[in-house]
Homo-oligomer: A and B are copies of this chain.
Amino acid sequence: MGRTPPHPEVSQFDLQQVLEALVDPVRRSVVMQLDAAGEDFACGTFDLPVSKSTATHHFKVLREAGLIRQYYVGTSRMNALRRAEMDEAFPGLLDALAARRAKGG
């Protein structure tokens, strides 16, 4: 369990930090892929147009903002969307982005 990286509590979520995470199209794509799937994904299984090291950076930014929770299963680093906690902190924000996705935007 020592490999589990630190995660903020809901009370520590910061709107500025969350918006800075979501303004990046690649990071927003990670969030929307997790939201659409409704299940957790390993880092390597996302469809992202960036290098592995860049993707790792994006996952870190998302984790530090509270948008995703990362944990290990064997050697795979898994990513879970913290949807309920985000909805608690910023009601409607992810819904608004997901609605846009549904429209193709």
The distance in angstroms between the C-alpha atoms of A16 and B95, with both chains bound, is 16
| A interface SS class | helix
A96 near B90: Cβ-Cβ < 8 Å? yes
Please report the total number of A residues contacting B with Cβ < 8 Å: 18
A49 to B91, CA, bound (A): 28
Asked whether B91 lies within 8 Å of A15 as measured between CB atoms, the reply is no
Question: Interface 1/0s, chain A 80-105, versus B by CB < 8 A?
Answer: 00000000001111011101100001
Question: For residue A96, which residues in chain B have a CB less than 8 angstroms away from its CB?
Answer: 90-93, 95-96
Given A90-B96, A91-B99, are A23 and B15 neighbors across the interface (CB < 8 Å)?
A: no
Q: Which residues of chain B are near A92, meaning CB under 8 Å?
A: 92-93, 95-96, 99
Identify the A interface with B (CB < 8 A).
Answer: 15-16, 19-20, 22-23, 25, 28, 90-93, 95-97, 99-100, 105
